[in-house]
Amino acid sequence: MVSWFSKSIVAMTVRMPKWFVGWVSRRYVAGPNLEDAVSIMMRLSKEDACFTIDVLGEEITSLAEAQYFLDEYLSVVDAIREHNLDANLSIKPTAFGLLIDEKAGMKNIETLVRMAHEHDLFVRLDMEDHRVTTSTIQVVLDLHNQGLTNVGVVLQGRLFRTLDDINYLETELGPAADYRICKGIYLESEDIAYTSYQDIVDATNACIDRMLAAGSYCSIASHDIPVVEYAKSALKSYGMGPNIPDPRPNAGPPRTAKGPGYEFQMLLGVRGPLRRKLAKNGHRTRVYIPYGKQWYEYSIRRLKENPTIGTQVAKAFMMPWTNRP
């Protein structure tokens, strides 16, 4: 259940002037331009962090808008190479036109993934709401079938279907499957998703177990202590850990610029102390770096879709020293 406090904070924040929303979001969004994202990454690189870069914006109304995102991500690839950043890409398939023209959207995604492949860069397909779950998974399968194995998907623990999706991808891709598992930001209907906190945590942990058992690469994207602690315990049960080559007999070959079969991921500005502690203990930690001109729309949508963020907003406002990015 979302607390009345969180709901109240969100209701107030979305009605505040744009400058105030910008003040709140500046700890979670790198800025409007690629240069802002590069600056953040150069700074956090000193904390042994690596990165995944997201150009803000998703569901679009024309293929002309999709061309903007393709061009911007190609610039991101150039920036990663120019600054020698330990980074990969996160993209939202709808931003490339998947819901407008599936064939054209797929071509746009393939163009980017192919260029990234030429430079040994990985591309993560973010998972949006349930309307595109099946099509997003299919894009990954189609690209792998073309030999473009530098692409993986995000799965959301809260969805009932996710364990079946893991089993399906294991059958199709074997250890080449590469996941980011998260609880999921989208507040889906109770007909298709778990809605209570503990049920979502339990379901996410079950997905971690299944991914590890399948020999897949598992990116654990969570700020929840119960999920992080469970993941650490699960990794230990497989003999996995910092600086240990992946010992699973069904695991694939080591992946370029990745951890030994797993890594932890966190959003920019959230749980900085926890991320630094994990990194200090030798775990590979990756920070999700969103930037772009649509920072305001992104911030408002996130607040409306997941009112639990309200507690984080209040904490950042009243006790900023407790959560240094």
The whole-number pLDDT of residue 205 equals 98
Q: What CATH number is attached to the domain comprising 253?
A: 3.20.20.220
Whether 135 is in a domain gets the answer: yes
Domain that holds residue 215: 30-291
Whether 9 is in a domain gets the answer: no
Q: How many domains does the chain have?
A: 1
How many CB atoms neighbour CB 90 within 10 A? 23
H or E element, residue 222: none
Walking along the chain (325 residues) 10 residues at a time, the average pLDDT comes out as: 58 61 71 94 94 87 92 97 97 93 95 96 94 94 97 97 97 95 87 94 98 97 95 98 95 89 93 93 96 73 58 54 50
Whether 172 is in a domain gets the answer: yes
Interior/surface letters 118-155, b for 16+ CB within 10 angstroms, e for the rest: eeebbbbbbbbbbebbebbbebbeebbeeebbbbbbbb
Cα distance between the two ends of the chain: 27
The whole-number pLDDT of residue 28 equals 82
Q: Tokens at residue 139, please?
A: 């894009």
Whether 175 is in a domain gets the answer: yes
Whether 10 is in a domain gets the answer: no
The pTM of the whole model exceeds 0.85: yes
